[in-house]
Amino acid sequence: MNAAIVTVGNELLAGDIENTNATWLSERLTARGVDVVRIIVIPDDERVVAETVRDWSERFDAVVVTGGLGGTPDDVTMPAVAAGLDRELVVDPVAEADVQDTLDRIFEENPDLDFELRAEWYASMPAGATPIPNPEGLAPGCVVENVYVLPGIPDEMEAVFGNVAGDFDGTVATRTLYSPEPEGALAEHLGEVADRFGVRVGSYPNRAAEETRIKLTGDDEDVLGEAVAWLRETADVSLDASRGESTESEPPRSDG
């Protein structure tokens, strides 16, 4: 199973906030054996969101969209997803009832609030979608076809994803090894292990610890095990970090 992550928000593009949602989601999906093949940040632009959802829903097994839910003018994700999948935007009665219960509780606990909040602002979603409850906030998520729509506030996004995490079940496995050798000295071995066993290889130098972290990724546990064994026999690598785990690895570098 593969998946693509779409994070929506002008504030992300402007660098006003860090895109922690993408990192969190990719970690959780990878841990469930899902191959995360795309991550993108796009603006709060209904046309751009709709085009991305239309394209990616046809290309990938699952598309996870986060951000742009709610009742403000820049919350365009739900109508955009509806447009991208050629569906009407409707008020889901189950979601509306849940949102209304939350609103009633908010106004009961805060009687001095003097602004209007309408349940339908938060309960609108593509026709035929299944709402995903949001125990941490107002805006529910939804599932429609292979598209999962989640709130952008991290606590809410994590809670809503937790309600559908079981839908994501892949076979991708990873193994991590370490070497005291610099990245360049390992290049030939890493290229050969990729060719021999059909695994994906990433190398991540950690200069502070004077070691290189190597990550092998594949769809077959047995083949991956053979690749690890071959690499340990032919190069100076081990299964354990030689200098502990107190320092962070640098991001991977691309030569192409």
Q: Which range is least confidently modeled, 70-74, 122-126, 133-137, 149-153?
A: 70-74
The CATH classification number of 173-234 equals 3.30.1370.10
**3-state secondary structure string across 164-199:** CHHHCCCCCEEEEEEECCCHHHHHHHHHHHHHHHCC
The tens digit of pLDDT for each residue in 169-181 reads 988 888 999 999 8
Amino acid 241: pLDDT: 63
pTM: 0.80
Going by their DSSP bridges, the two strands 141-144 and 147-150 should be labelled as antiparallel
Q: What is the mean pLDDT of residues 33-52?
A: 97
The mean pLDDT value of the chain amounts to 90
pLDDT at position 80 over 50: yes
CA distance 250 to 203: 10
Fold of the CATH domain 2-167: Molybdenum Cofactor Biosythetic Enzyme; Chain A (3.40.980)
pLDDT at position 251 over 90: no
Domain range summary for the chain, segments of one domain joined by +: 2-167, 173-234
